[in-house]
Amino acid sequence: MGAVLQEARFLSAAQFLLTTLIVKLAVIAVLATMLARYRRFRHILIFERRGWLDRLVFTLSIGIPLMAGVTARLLLNYQAADVTLEGAFLAGLIAGPYAGALVGLMVAAPALVAGEFIALPFAVGCGFAGGGLREACPKEAIWQFTPFVFVDLPKHVWQMIRKFEPNWQFVLLLAPIALELLRQALGIRFGISRLFYLGSPSHWMVLLVVLATVLAVATPIKIWNSARIEHRLQEQEKLLLAAKIEALKSQINPHFLFNTLTSISSLIRSQPDTARTLITKLSGLLRRLLRSQEHFVTLRDELESIDEYLDIEVVRFGPKLQVRKDIGADTLDIIVPSMILQPLVENCIKHGFARKVGTGSIVIRSWREHGRALIEVEDDGMGFVMDRLDQPMSGGIGLTNVRERLRVIYGAAYQLKMNSEPGRGTIARIEIPELMAAAQITA
């Protein structure tokens, strides 16, 4: 059985050039995506006014990979890795003329060592061209430059003619086209050994080279602008979340104050001394609440607030109200939303003991289990009938507030459960992710 010989197939010049252009666009897109993943780089993109350190970081972040690409082209003949024009022009367009010129200097250095003497002035010139264009046009116009600019090209041309003023999208399109045509002309005049360029076998292929240059500039801008928008949306979501948490926290204070003042008013005539004591303790607790601007506290601090609240309730109920704590020592530094337990304790007193004859007790427990923090507030009050168990969760401000705050902060990672038996009492259990005080808390 004879061996089947297959003739080796090679790409034509046009096919090789087209493949190089496609890989070149992929290289610039991958580099832009990788840079956008770094927080420091995204921070530089967001703010238009940048210090010298930010400009240096931006320059090195772009210049070093592009310099490595030129080196790969020289050593490995990997032409798709050379994006000298696009990189220098893009750096100047985003960070200014000096950053563009420095990137151009870095990228042209390996080519200069290899004898490509025109590479240095051309690359630095591209950087200055991008920087000059940045100084001339509005900054937001740069971020609106996308790979789809060709689709809206007739509209941009018409606006420029109708208004007799420059259309910056059209100008941003013409700039890389002019630079690429200049590179082609210089390369043909002085030879590829003096300035690298992608030679083309036909005029139609020159158009593809020019198109690839425009796309290699517009694609990173599109990727980075998407990262800027995403970052801004995240910041807005954080601000909205903080505002919502603050609103819910502010809601609980008037609710608690109203209930306490109602209790004091009922004691003014019958027990004026007790009412006076309650007012003193209430003023101390309110001063503490007004001083505290934090959305999160340790469980230790939350329990101290509960103690101040219970001091008021003990004065009201006297020896009829007993409070016991079973707090795990390893839970005291766990982070919890501030004023999250007070509505639960108040619910025990208001719904559990209002109709009960005799003494009543409240037990507060906390423990850790499988990376979760569990907090229980139990009373031996009147309890609820099972078909009315959800009424405290929906009818009053306190527990509704607790549930909503937990939902806003933890999403689906929390649980708030209530179990009750008529005549035996109610247990409210909060289960949240375990987060210790040493961790960073942001609203």
Q: Where are the domains of the chain?
A: 13-235, 268-433
User: Stretch 308-316: mean pLDDT, rounded?
Assistant: 75
For residues 216 and 148, give the distance between their C-alpha atoms in angstroms, rounded to a whole number.
12
Q: In this structure, what is the dihedral angle of CA atoms 274, 277, 278, 283, given to the nearest 10 degrees? A: 160
Q: Which residue has the higher pLDDT, 48 or 180?
A: 180
User: Stretch 339-366: mean pLDDT, rounded?
Assistant: 79
- 119-128, 168-177, 244-253: which range is least confident on average? 244-253
Q: In this structure, what is the dihedral angle of CA atoms 184, 189, 192, 196, given to the nearest 10 degrees? A: -40
For residues 329 and 39, give the distance between their C-alpha atoms in angstroms, rounded to a whole number.
38
- pLDDT value for 127: 95
- CA distances to 58, 82, 166, 410, 437 from 335, in Å: 38, 52, 57, 12, 6
User: Stretch 310-317: mean pLDDT, rounded?
Assistant: 74
Strand, coil or helix: 323: strand
Q: Assess whether pLDDT exceeds 80 at residue 139.
A: yes
Q: Which residue has the higher pLDDT, 41 or 165?
A: 41
- pLDDT value for 15: 85
- pLDDT value for 269: 80
- The CA-to-CA distance between both ends of the chain, in Å, stands at 76
Q: Assess whether pLDDT exceeds 70 at residue 408.
A: yes
- pLDDT value for 438: 47
Six token digits for residue 71: 């080196």
Q: Which residue has the higher pLDDT, 199 or 158?
A: 199
- pLDDT value for 200: 79
Q: Which residue has the higher pLDDT, 351 or 307?
A: 307
Q: What's the CATH superfamily of 268-433? A: Histidine kinase-like ATPase, C-terminal domain (3.30.565.10)
At 8, the pLDDT band (50, 70, 90 cuts) reads very low
Q: State CA 314 to chain mean position distance.
A: 46
DSSP-assigned states of every residue in 208-250? HHHHHHHHHHHHHHHHHHHHHHHHHHHHHHHHHHHHHHHHHHH
Q: Assess whether pLDDT exceeds 80 at residue 130.
A: yes
Average model confidence (pLDDT) for the chain?
81
For residues 42 and 50, give the distance between their C-alpha atoms in angstroms, rounded to a whole number.
12
Task: Give the pTM.
Answer: 0.59
For residues 133 and 171, give the distance between their C-alpha atoms in angstroms, rounded to a whole number.
9
